[in-house]
Structure 1
Amino acid sequence: MQTQKFRRARHFAAPTVFILMAAVLAGCANYAGIKSDRNIANASSYATTESIPAEHGRWPSTDWADQFGDAQLKTLIGEALQGSPSLEKARARVAAATAFSEGANANTLPQVGAGYSWTRQRFSESTLIPPPFAGSWQSENKAFINASYELDLWGKNRETLKSAVSSLHASEAEAEQVRLTLSSAIARAYNELARLYALHDIAQDEVKQRGEALRVTDGRVTMGLDTEVEKRTAEANLAASEVALSSLDGSIQRTRYQLGALLGRGPDRGLAIARPALGAGDEIRLPDNLPADLVSRRPDIVAARWRVDATLHDIKVAKAEFYPDINLSAMIGVDAFGWGRFLRAASRTASAGPAIHLPIFDGGALRAQLKGRYAEFDFAVASYNESLTNALTDVAIQLSDIRAIDAQIGNAVRTDTAAQRALTLALAQYKAGLTTQLTVLNAQTSALASRQLLANLRMTRRDRQIALAAALGGGYTDTSDPTKPTALVR
């Protein structure tokens, strides 16, 4: 009899095992053919020897704005970084990413909980409930402690955690990019204010010169050396200079308002900013090994790299979805009708066992999800490559502009010196009656243009210095794991 039972059990066990194996194999859905051949670009492979030469210079420090010797600029940048709405948004994104990574980490650990319930219930007399409970009201007390743990055999939860950590690093780098963008925007707007003040000084001098020319013309008209035409011309020129001066006053006011907005304090804050006192700044020399080191110095590139890394882990998560999940659970507690038997040993209850989820047929949902993850990976790689290309181009353009402006400034200084001497001579000769008003007007026009050109060149050079400091990362360095490899998951 026992042999027959054993044979019968074996007879049923063999197909049962086969069915379970088939279910497992069916559950492990096939993702063959879904892949990507994209790779992030290597900075060292870019041709940069001529455009970005090694000049044995230093990387910018975090206090790069101090090179211009203006304490007010440093104060303004610090104020903006404390109260900027843009930076507050970036900090909120970092906080959200931190919370998400903490939640992902919790999923890799065992979960333990406890509960209690009390239920008052009348049991039916027409079901399986036996007397004396059938047809009676009973109070059921239940208290338990339960625990669960997902085995994570395929690493889904671990990869989710890694993805969350990479996303957190990306958010932190993006916050640094916001800081850098904001500080460089303030420095450039502040430099623009300095430019307008320099042009304002030139315009004031022009008003004085043309006012003097009008007084000389009045005297010459009285002596019969000039006519009313020359007098009216001198008056028109003086009025035009005064209009230009008023226009600069308006531009200065507008720039102050813009600075107030960047500080996040409102337009009135900009009115309290004193006139800039910016110096020339440091000598421009690029650091060595720039293309390779730039990838850990530019926060936007670092953020893009961590986004690529996050998508790689998301791909592994999507692949793990094709395999069965196995969860272990256990529970102990007490369960009894009424209070009298609630804490007795007979009311003890316990359970334990695994729970298996098999993705047998999903209509292609898992394959579609994996394709989406690979598409996100391709997008992240393209974004990284674009960020790297733009960064190297940005450095090259700023350096080229600075070198070109340096050459222009030398010529502009010589031109301005000659133009100012010519104006002085023309005014002296005009006062002495040795030349005409037209000569003075031409000399004034040339002198004004040369001074404006020189002032604009100097301010533009400083603007490019600020842009170059930002292009080189503004003193940022990725300390999370700058050598972390980012390789394609096949």
Structure 2
Amino acid sequence: MLRNLTLTLLAASALTACTMAPKYERPALPVATTWPTASANGQTASAGDLAWKQVFEDPRLAGTIDLALANSRDLRVAVLNIEQARATYRMQRAALLPTVNGTLSGTKSETPTAASGFGSAIGGSGALEVENYNANVGVTSYELDIFGRVRSLKDQALNSYLATEQTARATQISLIAETANAWLTLAADQDLLALAKDTLKSREDSLALAQRQFDVGAASQLDLRTSQTLAETARSDVATYSAQVERDKNALRLLVGTEVPADLLPAGGLITAQILPDLPAGVASDVLTRRPDVLAAEHTLMGANANIGAARAAFFPRISLTGSYGSASADLDGLFKGGTKAWSFAPSISVPIFAGGANKAGLDSAKAGQKIAVANYEKAVQTAFREVADALATQATIGDRLAAQERLAAAAADTTRLTKLRYDRGVDSSLVLLDAQRTQYSAQQGLINARLARASNLVTLYKVLGGGAPKA
């Protein structure tokens, strides 16, 4: 009997090789096949193929990112979500196989003779004693998945797990990009603070000179007040950037999830930060379908597709098998002796006849869910395309902006130098010199901000291209 039961289960399992889910086909991408920025078209390589350490070459920045990956609570939650989804999938997959349990039980009862219906009591005691012992190996309510209901549910759980895995990858890429941007912002603000301190020292010297000249009548009160205005502006900037640097450190500390050692903080300013300068965009259709958030949306769509199969299977009969094989005896000592073999086999079939429209509603809900998943997938693709296009648009012009800002800063510095010579010779007034110094200070601030914009654009471009995404 055990052999027959085993063969029956194996034959039943062979019937579960298909589902009633519709064949999955990836929706057509609702975007152009090439990037709108002409310079990016025609490239086949993509920054998404590069590991983050190939892009963020600065050892201090790389060390900070490593620290964030090891300590971030957001990433830790994302990884735990993967573990939870994997366990859910394994539980659902287990339903495809019969559950075999071994049981050993024994009962002993005493029934009054008058109620037993079996005649006189043993030993004239007026009661009937009954003992029963069983040892069985059995299968309980194993569903033959002929119409693929259980398999469809397993496929849905699998795609839910895979979507969670891709969401965790997206979280990791976002963490890398946010940490890099926070580190670069700190470096830029440190540069702005150093510039403000140098400017304050210079302007305090100019203010002291203007005060002495005013005291002896060699300068007007307007010259004095103008010098004082510039000095106090620089002093205010020092206070502002000092606070901003501390806020940047707090933001970086929160992202990393722990204290950032001093040897990992920016040193030498933003200009010394090393980031791979050329990040290729690749082919639009290839890049977009490999981004973790797009892959997560597609797995959600595939799971919704599988739900339709489970909903369709609900219209068909469910066949369950229950069986056991073992030994039964009235005496515990004789449980495994000859002649005690016991077995049972109880197949059952449940045919849906009337469910008040629940099965039809379940199918309609599954189909609507699949259409929602298609819309979400298409939106994820469109959002990804827009993010890459925006980053490429910035990349196409950021070089010109930075070059212009460098020329502006150089011209402003030269103007200040020439004006100082003219002022020393009495050709220009102090107001002209102060105005040139103000222009130079503003140009230097603009140059630092342009360098930060370029570095941030590289970080953003790496992120939106799917940074390190594996090939599908």
Mapped partners of 1:272, 1:261: distance in 2 = 18
Percent identity of paired positions between Structure 1 and Structure 2 = 24
Tell me what 1:137 maps to: 129
Tell me what 1:167 maps to: 160
Contact in 2 for aligned 1:295/1:301 (Cα 8 Å)? yes
The letter for the 1-side match of 2:273 is: G
Pair 1:212–1:65, CA change in 2 (3 A): farther
The letter for the 1-side match of 2:260 is: R
- How far off its partner does 1:223 sit? 4.6
Residue 257 in 1 paired to residue 250 in 2?
A: yes
| Structure 2 residue matching 1:405: 3-state secondary structure | helix
| Structure 1 residue matching 2:470: 3-state secondary structure | coil
- How far off its partner does 1:118 sit? 1.8
Mapped partners of 2:363, 2:112: distance in 1 = 51
- How far off its partner does 1:348 sit? 2.8
| Structure 2 residue matching 1:123: 3-state secondary structure | strand
Mapped partners of 1:218, 1:251: distance in 2 = 32
Tell me what 1:112 maps to: 100
Residue 207 in 1 paired to residue 200 in 2?
A: yes
- How far off its partner does 1:44 sit? 7.6
Mark the runs of 5 or more structure 1 residues left unpaired by the alignment.
1-34, 483-490
Mapped partners of 2:87, 2:399: distance in 1 = 50
Tell me what 2:91 maps to: 103
Mapped partners of 2:406, 2:151: distance in 1 = 65
Match of 1:282 among 248, 258, 276: 276
Contact in 2 for aligned 1:57/1:285 (Cα 8 Å)? no
Contact in 1 for aligned 2:288/2:384 (Cα 8 Å)? no
The letter for the 1-side match of 2:266 is: R
Residue 87 in 1 paired to residue 79 in 2?
A: no
Deviations 1:256-299 (A, max 9, x none): 0111100111xx537774224543633435344x2211234310
Deviations 1:14-64 (A, max 9, x none): xxxxxxxxxxxxxxxxxxxxx99x986423852645336325363224533
Contact in 1 for aligned 2:315/2:359 (Cα 8 Å)? yes
Match of 1:309 among 302, 311, 329: 302
The letter for the 2-side match of 1:137 is: E
Match of 1:326 among 319, 338, 357: 319
| Structure 2 residue matching 1:136: 3-state secondary structure | strand
Residue 58 in 1 paired to residue 58 in 2?
A: no
| Structure 1 residue matching 2:324: 3-state secondary structure | strand
Count of matched residue positions in the alignment of Structure 1 and Structure 2: 441
The letter for the 2-side match of 1:43 is: L
Is 39-48 or 102-111 further displaced after alignment? Answer: 39-48
Mapped partners of 1:172, 1:129: distance in 2 = 65
Contact in 2 for aligned 1:328/1:355 (Cα 8 Å)? yes
Tell me what 1:76 maps to: 64
Contact in 2 for aligned 1:160/1:314 (Cα 8 Å)? yes
Mapped partners of 2:333, 2:396: distance in 1 = 93
Q: Equivalences for 1:289-368 in 2 at 5 Å?
A: 290-339=283-332, 341-368=334-361
Tell me what 1:9 maps to: none
The letter for the 2-side match of 1:103 is: M
Deviations 1:431-482 (A, max 9, x none): 443322221221122111111112111111110110000010011115xxx3
Tell me what 1:475 maps to: 468
Tell me what 1:437 maps to: 430
| Structure 2 residue matching 1:401: 3-state secondary structure | helix
Deviations 1:77-110 (A, max 9, x none): 1111112111111111111121122122211112
Pair 1:333–1:69, CA change in 2 (3 A): closer
Pair 1:177–1:461, CA change in 2 (3 A): same
TM (norm. structure 1) is: 0.83
| Structure 2 residue matching 1:216: 3-state secondary structure | helix
Query: Superposition RMSD on alpha carbons, in Å?
Result: 2.6
Contact in 2 for aligned 1:84/1:263 (Cα 8 Å)? yes
Contact in 2 for aligned 1:55/1:287 (Cα 8 Å)? no
Deviations 1:135-177 (A, max 9, x none): 4132322221112543211011222222222222111111101
Mapped partners of 1:474, 1:127: distance in 2 = 80
Mapped partners of 2:95, 2:340: distance in 1 = 33
Pair 1:126–1:102, CA change in 2 (3 A): farther
Mapped partners of 2:243, 2:372: distance in 1 = 45
Pair 1:339–1:188, CA change in 2 (3 A): same
Pair 1:319–1:411, CA change in 2 (3 A): same
Contact in 2 for aligned 1:65/1:187 (Cα 8 Å)? no
Match of 1:450 among 426, 433, 443: 443
Pair 1:65–1:331, CA change in 2 (3 A): closer
Mark the runs of 5 or more structure 2 residues left unpaired by the alignment.
1-20
Mapped partners of 1:422, 1:252: distance in 2 = 31
Deviations 1:220-248 (A, max 9, x none): 33553203443343233212211211210
Match of 1:225 among 210, 218, 230: 218
Contact in 1 for aligned 2:132/2:329 (Cα 8 Å)? yes
Mapped partners of 2:410, 2:231: distance in 1 = 23
